[in-house]
């Protein structure tokens, strides 16, 4: 059923007022978690954390590796965005940003080869703002700043804490305002994946087929993909091989993982394996797909509110011995505006389970399956994206499995 409480496929830009309720709700959620976890203020450079806190987006991929913009957020006070020089106008209409200042370049290049001096100037300004708003409070949350910046903040007597646990907690539980956007993001990525699937044919390269997904994905306001996970034929085993120039042949398997940061920054992560050409699937291919599907459905059925991560691992589908060495590294993982908490590892015999806690309503969980055969030299990758509710789970990803491999 189409959501009607939410913008259509011709939605306005991210700073349009129709999205402001979403941005306000996320900022309030973050500040509430900061108070609960006793973090009075944080300064963050991770662009996804900035996007979550404010809705402000600018050169996300570049700023993921370059500390060119950052945000100072108080648990009970303002959000001050330091944006890249000349970009201050980009977030000027957001109700979540109380003040915008030009950011200092903190890396070697943007600091004109003097990151220590830039760090000292940055630390002095942050220290001054903390004294203005919090008096003698010295505690400050930080994320992934350069070490020169961390040293400069500590040199001013600030007591630094890792802000990642706070953001992980805030982002792990999706708000009601987020859910229509997440569902829409999934729909758009599924549309791009279906268009790509229609272009799978012998004689085409992996990158040419992947480009069909990218073209439609971007046209539907997708932002970027975080991996290049598409591999065919003998490259489908082992997993995690990046999309390349190999030309597909009739009867090849083609594994595809979306790993897409889609509409309004919400991640979409499901996987399908397709059969290339008009050939019928071989018995081995059908067996691999059947086992991957069995693992997927078995583990999906375990997910629900209140189940412990340790219990999920304990009751997870038993991977046959011949697939153990190449199995996917985790049962599943959280998702939101990227891969998020929790990351649910497999249980290791004789060792205590490393992840405490339980699945909670509002989490988005992706369940993973990879079943590969060293003898056959091929494998099948499947994955589904779920929303955990008070009563159970909603399967967000609904793209059909390839019928020729036994899917539906």
- Please identify which residue in the block is written with the tokens 């309720």: 21
Q: Is the pLDDT of residue 11 over 80?
A: no
Q: Average pLDDT for residues 324-346, to the nearest whole number?
A: 98
The confidence score (pLDDT) of residue 33 equals: 99
Token pair of 29 as six digits: 């959620």
Share of the chain above pLDDT 70, in %: 96
pLDDT band at 172 (very low <50, low <70, confident <90, very high): very high
Instruction: Decide yes or no: CATH 3.40.50.2300 for domain 17-172.
Output: no
Residue 370 to residue 403: CA distance in whole angstroms: 18
Instruction: Report the predicted TM-score, pTM, of the whole model to 2 decimal places.
Output: 0.94
Q: Is the pLDDT of residue 14 over 80?
A: no
Q: What is the pLDDT of residues 65-88, one digit of tens each?
A: 999 999 999 999 999 999 999 999
pLDDT band at 6 (very low <50, low <70, confident <90, very high): very low
The confidence score (pLDDT) of residue 314 equals: 98
Q: Average pLDDT for residues 167-195, to the nearest whole number?
A: 97
Domain ranges of the chain: 17-172, 179-405
Q: Are 228 and 245 in contact (CB under 8 A)?
A: no
State the chain's mean pLDDT as an integer: 95
- Please identify which residue in the block is written with the tokens 């007022």: 17
Q: Is the pLDDT of residue 408 over 80?
A: no
Q: What is the CA radius of gyration of the chain?
A: 23
Q: What is the pLDDT of residues 182-239, one digit of tens each?
A: 999 999 999 999 999 999 999 999 999 999 999 999 999 999 999 999 999 999 999 9
Greater model confidence, 5 or 100: 100
Q: Is the pLDDT of residue 16 over 90?
A: no
- Which of 33, 11, 85, 88 is closest to 56 using CA atoms? 88
Q: What is the pLDDT of residues 117-162, one digit of tens each?
A: 999 999 999 999 999 999 999 999 999 999 999 999 999 999 999 9
What residues contact residue 399 under an 8 Å CB cut-off, 6+ apart?
190, 193, 194, 270, 272
The confidence score (pLDDT) of residue 5 equals: 43
CATH match for 179-405 among 3.90.230.10, 3.30.420.40, 3.90.170.10, 3.40.50.720: 3.90.230.10
The confidence score (pLDDT) of residue 142 equals: 99
Comparing 36-50, 109-123, 263-277, 365-379, the range with the smallest average pLDDT is 109-123
The confidence score (pLDDT) of residue 3 equals: 41
The confidence score (pLDDT) of residue 376 equals: 96
Q: Beta 79-83 vs 99-102: how paired, if at all?
A: parallel
The confidence score (pLDDT) of residue 1 equals: 30
């Amino acid at each position: 059923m189409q959501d009607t409480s939410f913008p259509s496929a011709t939605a306005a830009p991210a700073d349009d007022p129709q999205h402001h309720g979403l941005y306000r709700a996320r900022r309030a959620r973050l500040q509430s978690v900061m108070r609960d976890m006793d973090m009075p203020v944080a300064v963050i450079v991770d662009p996804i954390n900035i996007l979550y806190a404010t809705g402000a987006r600018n050169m996300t991929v570049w700023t993921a590796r370059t500390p060119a913009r950052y945000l100072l957020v108080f648990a009970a006070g303002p959000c001050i965005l330091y944006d890249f020089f000349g970009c201050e106008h980009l977030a000027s209409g957001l109700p979540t940003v109380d003040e915008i200042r030009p950011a200092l370049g903190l890396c070697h290049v943007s600091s004109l080869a003097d990151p220590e001096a830039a760090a000292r100037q940055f630390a002095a300004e942050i220290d001054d703002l903390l004294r203005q708003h919090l008096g003698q409070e010295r505690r400050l949350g930080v994320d992934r700043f350069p070490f020169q910046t961390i040293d400069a903040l500590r040199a001013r007597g600030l007591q630094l804490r890792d802000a990642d646990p706070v953001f992980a907690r805030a982002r792990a539980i999706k708000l009601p305002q987020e859910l229509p956007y997440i569902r829409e993001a999934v729909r758009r990525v599924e549309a791009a994946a279906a268009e790509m699937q229609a272009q799978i044919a012998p004689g085409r390269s992996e990158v040419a087929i992947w480009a069909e997904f990218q073209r439609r994905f971007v046209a539907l306001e997708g932002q970027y993909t975080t991996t290049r996970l598409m591999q065919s034929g003998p490259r489908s085993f082992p997993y995690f091989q990046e999309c390349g120039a190999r030309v597909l042949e009739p009867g090849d398997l083609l594994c595809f993982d979306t790993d897409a940061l889609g509409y309004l920054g919400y991640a979409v992560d499901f996987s399908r394996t397709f059969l290339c050409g008009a050939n019928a699937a071989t018995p081995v291919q059908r067996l691999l797909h059947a086992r991957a599907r069995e693992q997927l459905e078995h583990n999906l059925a375990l997910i629900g509110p209140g189940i412990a991560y340790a219990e999920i691992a304990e009751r997870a589908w038993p991977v046959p011995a011949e697939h153990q060495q190449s199995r996917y590294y985790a049962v599943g993982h959280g998702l939101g505006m990227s891969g998020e908490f929790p990351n649910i590892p497999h249980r290791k015999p004789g060792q205590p389970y490393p992840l405490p806690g339980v699945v909670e309503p509002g989490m988005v969980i992706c369940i993973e399956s990879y079943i590969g055969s060293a003898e056959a030299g091929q494998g099948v990758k499947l994955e589904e994206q779920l929303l955990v509710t008070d009563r159970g789970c909603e399967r967000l990803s609904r793209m059909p499995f390839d019928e020729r491999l036994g899917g539906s």
